[in-house]
Structures are given as C-alpha cells and as structure tokens.
C-alpha cells in the first residue's frame, strides 16, 4: 500500500511539474517575443503595438517567477536543476520589463489631493458615437473643472457646448467626428489657436491661459493623435504628431501642458522620446496606474490618455474618472498650478 501511495504521489508531482512547465514556458516565450518586438520597434512601427502589453507581461511574469521559485525550493535535488534553468530563462524578460514599466512609479508616493487649490483640467474622449448628450452635460457639470477638453467631437455634440455656454464663456471647437476636438474654459481672456499638428488632419488646440489667483499663466496643447493599427501608416502618423508636439513644447518658452488621447502607452519608445526631448513630467508618476482604455476593463486596461507638463508646472492632483457608458475611454483629471 505504501508503494502504491508513493507511486501515486510521484505521478501527481510529475503532472504538476508538466503543467507548471507548460505555463512557465508559455509565459516566458511570450515575454521574449514581446521583448524582441518592443526593443526593435524602431525597425517597423507595427512592432510598437506590442508595447501596450508590457505592464501585463511584467505582472504575469512576476507571478510565474514566484511559482518557479516555489518549485525550485520544494523540488528534490534531481529536479532542482530543471527549475533553476527555467528561473534563468525567466529572469531575462522579467528584468527587461521591470526596467521598461518601472512599476515603482505607480506607487502613490507623491502628493495627490483632489481638493487642492489650482486649475482643474478635465480631458475626455467621449466617443464620436456617444448620443447621451444630457448625460454628458450632467456629468461635466458635476466635475466643476476650469478647463474641459472633449475629444472625438461630432457635429451632434455641439449641443453640449451650447448647454454649457453660461459656465464656459471661452470655448473653441472643431466638430470633425473622430478628429473633432473642443476646449471649454471658464478662465476669462483665454485664447485659442487651432493647429494641424504635423499636417496629419488631426486638429489640435493651443490654449493660452492667463494667470489667476489659483495658478500661473500657462499654455495647454489639447490633442488627439492617430490610433495605431497593424497598418504602419497610422502608427507613423501618430509618431509624426508626437514629434511635432515635442517641437511645440520646445518653442513655447512658457510653462506648458500636453493633454489628451495620445493613443500610446507609457512604455512605448516614442512616448519616452516625447518625455525626454520635451523635458516633460508624466502626471501619473508616483500617483497611480490610471488605465483609461478600454474603459470596461478598468485596471486591466492601459493608460493612453495623458497629461504631461513642463517642470515649471506644479501638479497637485491626477486622477481617472469612473466608467461612463457609452464611451470606451475613462476621462482623466488633474489640478495644476
């Protein structure tokens, strides 16, 4: 009986090891494939799409690494070498995604007071097909924001601007469907300039905000970049826009903010270039993960709606709004000075 029990136990251990080998091998192989794609994204723009999975792969590989370590500790000397080999294969992509995602930056270590004094900015891709105009107006009124940025502004959405005209006397909008955008301001003497960033047919709005008793004078560039796809042209168009944004920041010589749906994750090479070359700060840093798309996935989504600021801007608060049907984006909000 004891021999049979030992045999059954060994069989169970073998099956457990096979299952763990399959799971760990799949995760590690996927990690290597994405790592290669992200590292070589400059060769072909379509490869940059893989960067959107960087955070999820880091979390998944971290879990797999814990399981491999447990197997390494629990296994006997004959099987331990196999686990150590898996651990070595796992370590390379894990370290790579650790460096790329910098998970420590999502820890809420910076000040983040939603009641802080300053200029409140609310940016939302409300989706071109959103027909719940009354709901949108009611929702925006509750935000009590100084600057409202609406992306994917269709012709039928102009009714929203009309209904908010008493609160937001300064406004500029281009109702152009997926390329449409609007900026509403309740700061007197706000000035607007419509730009075609990189001549890609996606209008952006340069907002000149005068100083108030709550914030300094600043410039805001509100924009929506092309959404990347497996067709490389759209990704190149997005990257051209981001390069033009860098030049805009470098030429303003004023405290500046870039905000909107940038259609890029923080782990993408063009995003890191924008941050570095534009000397910008990511408002997410040390405040949270703040996934914004797809909205129904909540924390399982990715942050592609951003607010980036030059170092003269003091960021008091950064948040992400609740899911609001039927938009597929969660709005972002910030308080700056």
Quote the pLDDT of residue 177.
86
Strands 147-151 and 119-125 turn out to be parallel
Nearest Cα neighbor of 75 from 8, 14, 7, 6 is 14
pLDDT at site 3: 46
Give the percent of the chain with pLDDT over 90.
59
Distance CA 11, CA 28 (A): 25
224 vs 6: which has the higher pLDDT: 224
Residue 144, pLDDT above cutoff 60: yes
Angle, helices 54-74/77-101, rounded to nearest 10 degrees: 160
The mean predicted confidence, pLDDT, of the chain is: 88
**Whole-prediction pTM:** 0.91
Are 337 and 214 in contact by the 8 Å Cβ rule? The answer is yes
Token look-up 């909540």 returns 298
Residue-wise pLDDT for 28-45, tens only, equals: 888 888 888 888 887 888
Burial annotation 19-36 (CB, 10 A radius, 16+ → b, else e): ebeeebeebbeebeebbe
CB contact at 8 A, 199 and 209: no
pLDDT in tens, 276-319: 999 999 999 999 999 999 988 888 999 999 999 999 999 999 99
Both tokens assigned to 101: 């995602």
């Amino acid at each position: 009986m004891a021999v049979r029990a030992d045999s059954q136990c060994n069989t169970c251990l073998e099956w457990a090891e096979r299952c763990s080998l399959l799971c760990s091998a799949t995760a590690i192989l996927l990690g290597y494939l994405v790592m290669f794609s992200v590292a070589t994204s400059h060769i072909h723009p379509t490869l940059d799409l893989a960067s959107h999975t960087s955070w999820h792969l880091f979390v998944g590989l971290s879990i797999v690494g814990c399981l491999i370590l447990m197997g390494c500790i629990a296994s006997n000397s004959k099987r331990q070498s196999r686990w150590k080999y898996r651990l070595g294969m796992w370590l390379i992509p894990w370290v790579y995604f650790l460096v790329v995602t910098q998970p420590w930056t999502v820890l809420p270590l910076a000040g983040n007071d939603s009641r802080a004094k300053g200029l409140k900015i609310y940016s939302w891709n409300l989706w071109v097909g959103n027909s719940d105009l009354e709901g949108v107006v009611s929702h925006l009124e509750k935000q009590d924001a100084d600057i409202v940025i609406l992306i994917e502004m269709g012709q039928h959405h102009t009714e929203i601007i009309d209904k908010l005209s008493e609160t937001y006397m300064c406004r500029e909008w281009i109702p152009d469907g997926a390329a449409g955008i609007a900026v509403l301001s309740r700061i007197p003497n706000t000035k607007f300039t419509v730009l075609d960033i990189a001549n890609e047919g996606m209008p952006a709005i340069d907002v000149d905000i005068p100083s108030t008793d709550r914030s300094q004078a600043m410039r805001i560039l509100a924009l929506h970049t092309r959404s990347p796809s497996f067709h490389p042209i759209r990704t190149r168009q997005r990257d051209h826009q981001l390069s033009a944004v860098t030049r805009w920041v470098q030429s303003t010589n004023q405290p500046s903010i870039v905000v909107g749906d940038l259609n890029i994750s923080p782990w993408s090479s063009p995003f890191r270039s924008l941050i570095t070359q534009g000397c910008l700060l990511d408002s997410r840093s040390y405040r949270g993960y703040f996934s914004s798309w797809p909205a129904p996935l909540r924390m399982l989504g990715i942050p592609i709606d951003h607010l980036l600021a030059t170092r003269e801007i003091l960021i008091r608060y950064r948040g992400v709004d609740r899911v609001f049907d039927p938009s597929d984006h969660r709005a972002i909000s910030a308080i700056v000075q």
